[in-house]
Structure 1
Amino acid sequence: MKITLPDADIEYIEHFYSQQAAADLFTDLQHNLRWRQDSITLFGKHTHLPRLQAWYGNKNLSYCYSSMCLIAKPWTASLLDVKLKVSKYCQQEFNAVLANYYRHEKDSVAWHSDNEPELGTAPTIASLSLGASREFQLKHKASGLKKSLILSSGSLLIMRHETQQYWQHCLPKRAHCIAPRINLSFRSIMGQGR
């Protein structure tokens, strides 16, 4: 399903994985990825990211954001299988994935665009959601127009072309109890890991 928004090319596939396949994959990744609690510096103060993350990809691939550099761990068999399926659907070869583990309703990611130089000028970002459904918000940088989507387990959200140039996105904290969620955000880092 195409999400119709100005200055954006966004597609949402609700059942990219079946419920059972998504549940099995969630359990596998929850137990077998090398999750880490990273810190960033905001306004001169060190703070833990409100989520766990793991960076996997082709050999020696690095990714830097918010004054933090990640070096890719080798693909696991499960992540490689997912990457191949997502790449085939998107008709684009991805060489890395940022996995985020949202343990509860207090874990989140703030407003941002995936616009780091190593992603190129018009990157395709493909995000697979596993576990609890969460609200995903989009905001146009110039007009302030907002759009919310509920990303269910097994769904794939694809943001292409100029989307990152004109839009920010976030996964906000919530007051009510929410079960864990894993997001796999596939991307292609330019000039590395080929």
Structure 2
Amino acid sequence: MKSSIRKKEIILAGNLNLNIYGLLSCKSGKRMKKENRIFFLSEKIAIENGYRPCGRCMKEKYKTGKMHLFPNSADPNINLLPNDGTVNYYGTILDSSKAKFYYDTLLKTIEWKNDEAIIFNKHIITKRKAAWYGDSNYAYTYSNATKYALPWTAALLELKNKAEELSQATYNSCLLNLYHNGDEGMAWHSDDEKTLAKNGAIASLSFGAERKFSFKHKQTKETVAVLLESGSLLVMKGTTQTNWLHRLPPTKKIHQPRVNLTFRTIFTG
């Protein structure tokens, strides 16, 4: 170990308890108990293992590091959240040709409608389009507007089975969103409606344009983000909806559509 440090093969160290990484010269690190220390060969390895920059020795990265952006090298065994919830990113679960097939199919076969919301007693119709499908004509209310589920299409059933197989969970409904370009996004929110299973898994499949997806802790305001590729799967579960908000931030850099499916479990009683 000492030899690797002298040769500068090891350049970073971290705190096992706090999931923070920083420079070997950091004063905070030198005060750390030996049993809490971990060493990294590169910053990429630290980030891939869920560590975030130190606020003392890596101030600039900590500032932008308050928005911790995970690379696209996906490992479903890694929890993207530092605490109070579980988010696993599986990366692309479909090859590019299959992802393109489902993208085209969903655009053509889903009964897309402009989404609606009642905010401060004002009826708002969004540019973003949405659809709601399920095992039965379940009612789902969010933003003070109610949707009734349509019967599954063949493509949605295939994707539901794939999501269930990988996430080891079952789902009875799916909310779909169509974002025509980067101008359209989703504000901070949690999928914590009373009709949804508490602490249940939500499986998110993305098709089309690659977009950044962000999380923000409700108390600490810490943020985490991941780039969602076309044909990729992300699963939120445990206490994620209780403790974290999420959003799809708008961007001027994206000019292509994105289709997102979130498979979920709604109470049927």
- After TM superposition, list the pairs within 5 Å mapping 1:27-176 onto structure 2: 27-176=104-253
Match of 1:186, SS? strand
Alpha-carbon offset, residue 169 of structure 1: 0.3
Cα RMSD of the aligned pairs, angstroms, is: 1.2
Q: Partners in 2 of 1:184 and 1:119 — Cα distance? A: 16
- Larger RCO: Structure 1 or Structure 2 (Cα < 8 Å, ≥ 6 residues apart)? 1
Gaps of 5+ in 2: 1-74
Report the Cα distance in structure 2 between the residues aligned to 1:86 and 1:191, rounded to whole angstroms: 21
Confirm whether residue 15 of structure 1 aligns to residue 92 of structure 2: yes
For structure 1, which runs of at least 5 residues remain unmatched after alignment? none
How many residue pairs are counted as aligned between the two chains? 192
Distance 2:244 2:192 in 1: 10
Assess if the C-alpha contact under 8 Å between 2:119 and 2:144 holds in 1.
no
* CA distance in structure 2 between the partners assigned to 1:89 and 1:174 by the alignment: 30
Tell me, yes or no, if the aligned pair for 1:50 and 1:108 is still in contact at 8 Å.
no
Q: Secondary structure at the match of 1:165?
A: helix
Paired with 2:266 and 2:228, the residues of 1 have a C-alpha distance of: 25
Look up the equivalent residue of 2:147 and give its one-letter code: L
1:90 is displaced (CA, Å) by: 1.5
Distance, in Å, in 1 between the alignment partners of 2:231 and 2:254 is 21
Q: Share of identical aligned residues, percent?
A: 37
TM-score norm. by structure 1 comes to 0.95
**Residue 11 of structure 1 contacts residue 158 of structure 1 at CA under 8 Å; is this kept in 2?**
yes
Q: 1:50 to 1:173 in 2, by over 3 A?
A: farther
Q: 1:177 to 1:86 in 2, by over 3 A?
A: closer
Task: Return the alpha-carbon distance in structure 2 between the equivalents of residues 72 and 55 of structure 1.
Answer: 5
SS of equivalent to 2:178: strand
- 1:44 offset after TM fit, Å? 2.8
TM-score between both structures, scaled by the size of structure 2: 0.69
SS of the equivalent of 2:158 reads helix
Q: Is the 8 A contact 1:123 1:164 kept in 2?
A: no
